Amino acid sequence: MSTAEKPTSTFGPSALATPANVLTLARLLATPVLVAMVVLTGPATWTLFGVWFVCASSDGLDGYVARRQGTTRSGAFLDPLADKFLVLGVLAALASIHELSWLPVILIGIREVAMSVFRAYAARRGVSIPARQTAKVKTLLQDIVVGLALMPLVGEHHIALVRGLLWVAVAITLYTGLEYLHDGRRLLAGAAGPAGAA
């Protein structure tokens, strides 16, 4: 790729007020509204599905904007946080109105919180743990499950299908957590090696 074809990096890695971060924060702020809508008007309406679709789609949009204008450390922290907040918030709302079981929601929540804590622990030691392709599949499947639960054509008539897919999402979520833990421990051990030998 020539220099003329490469995206221009508008923001440095320490920037906070970026368009990508604005999109991410908008997704974070929209989550409580969507959760309240699920509890008050759910379980499945086209309005809910539309709001969910916009929120979930903004994940890809802010990632695209970040790649075009320059990725930042704040964005790398906020983007996955917003994804987890959105998915877990809506799943918990659906469980609270008895559309979904609490157990799979709790298992997904434990994994997401544990991996966020581990990621912060690794970052304090200067280690960044890259996401595998399976983690992207996990996120996509979680998004699909929530979307189907909120879609009237599916959620109102085929909730058993949604519940089955949720357990598939749980299995992949836990598996990717083990992958992440394995990769993190290996990278942490490598980072500590030279220091221990010095």
Full DSSP string of 95-148: HHTTSS-HHHHHHHHHHHHHHHHHHHHHHHTT---PPPHHHHHHHHHHHHHHHH
- Please state, for a pLDDT cut of 70, what percent of the chain lies above it: 79
Task: Provide the pLDDT confidence category of residue 198 given band limits of 50, 70 and 90.
Answer: very low
Q: Please report, to the nearest 10 degrees, the dihedral formed by the alpha carbons of residues 177, 91, 148, 172 taken in order.
A: 10
* pLDDT score at 16: 55
Closest CA to 105 of 118, 96, 114: 96
- Give me the mean pLDDT over the 22-48 stretch: 90
CATH code, domain with 74: 1.20.120.1760
pLDDT per residue as tens digits for the range 91-108: 999 999 999 999 999 999
Does the residue 47 lie in any domain? yes
pLDDT at 195 over 50: no
- Give me the mean pLDDT over the 98-127 stretch: 91
Domain span holding position 21: 17-187
- Taking the model in full, what pTM does it have? 0.82
Does the residue 172 lie in any domain? yes
* pLDDT score at 53: 92
Task: Provide the pLDDT confidence category of residue 164 given band limits of 50, 70 and 90.
Answer: very high
Does the residue 135 lie in any domain? yes
Distance separating the N- and C-terminal Cα atoms of the chain = 41
pLDDT at 69 over 80: no
CB 125 within 8 A of CB 191: yes
- The tokens describing 58, both together, are 């903004």
CB 2 within 8 A of CB 57: no
The number of distinct structural domains making up the chain is 1
